[in-house]
Amino acid sequence: MDSLHDPDDRGFASDNYSGVHPEVLAGLAAANEGHQPAYGGDVYTERLQRVFAAHFGDDAVTWPVWGGTGANVIGLLSMLPRWGAVICAETAHIHADEGGAAEKAGDIKLLTVATPDGKLTPELIAREAWGYGDQHRAQPLVVHLTQSSELGTVYTPAEVREIAGFAHERGMRVFMDGARLSNAAASLGLPLRAFTTDAGVDAVSVGGTKNGALGAEAIVVLDRAADDGLVYLRKNRMQLPSKMRFVSAQLLALFESDLWLRNARQANDMAQRLRGAVEEGLSAGTIRDVGFAQRTQANAVFATLPSAVAERLRHRFRFYDWGPAPRGSEQRDSDADAVGVVRWVCSFDTAPADVDAFVAAIAEETTA
């Protein structure tokens, strides 16, 4: 089949827009010959167990799944009784971006907390960690963290350790949504286990799709006591790949070498290049009316723009509104001078020339 799109097209809307890394495609091709047992009985899934144990510790148990939403829902389900609830940031993907899957597919009560930067703290968790023994209140039994957060910020190991200690003292478990776990590790300059296993996290989802895979995620149980029925829940919640070797082969291509880290570093570096170039333009006066809503610690830049500028710029490069207009919607503020938050995301295949072209467009549109 001929390509239906322009392969030179680049945008900054999401790392899901990028293609598949050639090394991942090669891994898929290598796994494609002959027959292998289905549903995880293959040699690729067996090796993945050992590879992730090297990253997260000998007790880690890995469960490959199709997607990040499924990893979140069944990972949390495996840690909760029917009367349990999950404390999460109000910006968390499970609350804001998964179509109510936790509530509808998982029957999970979410207790959301407002945060200034997408990150929870013990003090913020305490706002919902109450009512234990009260039959009228869903019991807060899991704390859900996102690393890196939905606002592009990163938890340090010390911050995760403090949260895990607070949670465990109250009988709660800790689940980490790691759709961009690799970007967090690249930002911190630390191995994956430093802010997961060693910091007291009980289970983590490991993302591959946003970091160069075709479509591959995994739930990694770090404390085996936190694994209650995942062997059944994957099938029950439609996340059991029949030809699992192709999910595992993608994750092997990323995590058996340092590809996961190379890709994440590239995406993070391009986000820093983008922010730095905009800041230089503001100082030089070649860019106007741009601000920053969050620190840039991973691969996303959260900027503020006048709505009219964002509208013009979006015709040249894709990116999403993050407020006050709904994310990715066509709704715009009626006041052309209104300022909104936008998100610019860099991917593993974002090149310096892509960033430079985008910054040049920002300069043109903000000074028009």
Question: According to the model, what pLDDT value does residue 325 have?
Answer: 42
Q: What is the C-alpha to C-alpha distance for residues 268 and 179, in angstroms, rounded to an integer?
A: 14
CATH 3.90.1150.10 spans which residues of the chain?
260-366
Question: According to the model, what pLDDT value does residue 340 have?
Answer: 93
Strands 139-146 and 173-178, bridge-based pairing: parallel
Question: According to the model, what pLDDT value does residue 224 have?
Answer: 77
Ranking 210-214, 232-236, 241-245, 264-268 by mean pLDDT, the lowest is 232-236
User: Does residue 227 surpass a pLDDT of 90?
Assistant: no
Question: According to the model, what pLDDT value does residue 337 have?
Answer: 62
Strands 203-207 and 173-178, bridge-based pairing: parallel
Mean pLDDT in residue range 230-245: 92
User: Does residue 218 surpass a pLDDT of 70?
Assistant: yes
Question: According to the model, what pLDDT value does residue 2 have?
Answer: 83
60 contacts: CB under 8 Å, gap ≥ 6: 52, 53, 197, 220, 221, 222
pLDDT grade for 338, boundaries at 50, 70 and 90: confident
Do residues 147 and 178 touch, judged by C-beta distance below 8 A? yes
279-303 pLDDT, tens digit each: 999 999 999 999 999 999 999 999 9
User: Does residue 197 surpass a pLDDT of 50?
Assistant: yes
User: Does residue 226 surpass a pLDDT of 80?
Assistant: no
CATH 3.40.640.10 spans which residues of the chain?
22-257
pLDDT grade for 324, boundaries at 50, 70 and 90: low
Do residues 111 and 138 touch, judged by C-beta distance below 8 A? yes
Q: What is the C-alpha to C-alpha distance for residues 129 and 84, in angstroms, rounded to an integer?
A: 12
Mean pLDDT in residue range 230-253: 94
Torsions phi, psi for 175 (to 5 deg): -115, 135
Question: According to the model, what pLDDT value does residue 181 have?
Answer: 98
Question: According to the model, what pLDDT value does residue 266 have?
Answer: 98
118-171 pLDDT, tens digit each: 999 999 999 999 999 999 999 999 999 999 999 999 999 999 999 999 999 999
Residue of higher predicted confidence among 274 and 104: 274
Say how many C-beta atoms besides its own lie within 10 A of residue 114's C-beta: 9
22-73 pLDDT, tens digit each: 999 999 999 999 999 999 999 999 999 999 999 999 999 999 999 999 999 9
Partners of 304 in beta bridges: 291, 341
Counting residues of the chain whose pLDDT is more than 70, the rounded percentage is 96
Mean pLDDT in residue range 171-180: 98
Domain made up of 22-257: CATH architecture = 3-Layer(aba) Sandwich (3.40)
Q: What is the C-alpha to C-alpha distance for residues 110 and 144, in angstroms, rounded to an integer?
A: 10
- pTM of the complete model beyond 0.85: yes
DSSP 56-113: H-TT-EEEEES-HHHHHHHHHHTT--TTEEEEEETT-HHHHSSTTHHHHTT-PEEEEE
User: Does residue 328 surpass a pLDDT of 60?
Assistant: no
User: Does residue 329 surpass a pLDDT of 60?
Assistant: no
Question: According to the model, what pLDDT value does residue 332 have?
Answer: 41
Work out the mean pLDDT of the chain and round it to a whole number: 94
Question: According to the model, what pLDDT value does residue 333 have?
Answer: 42
134-143 pLDDT, tens digit each: 999 999 999 9
Question: According to the model, what pLDDT value does residue 331 have?
Answer: 39
Question: According to the model, what pLDDT value does residue 122 have?
Answer: 98
260-366 has CATH 1.10.1370.30 classification? no
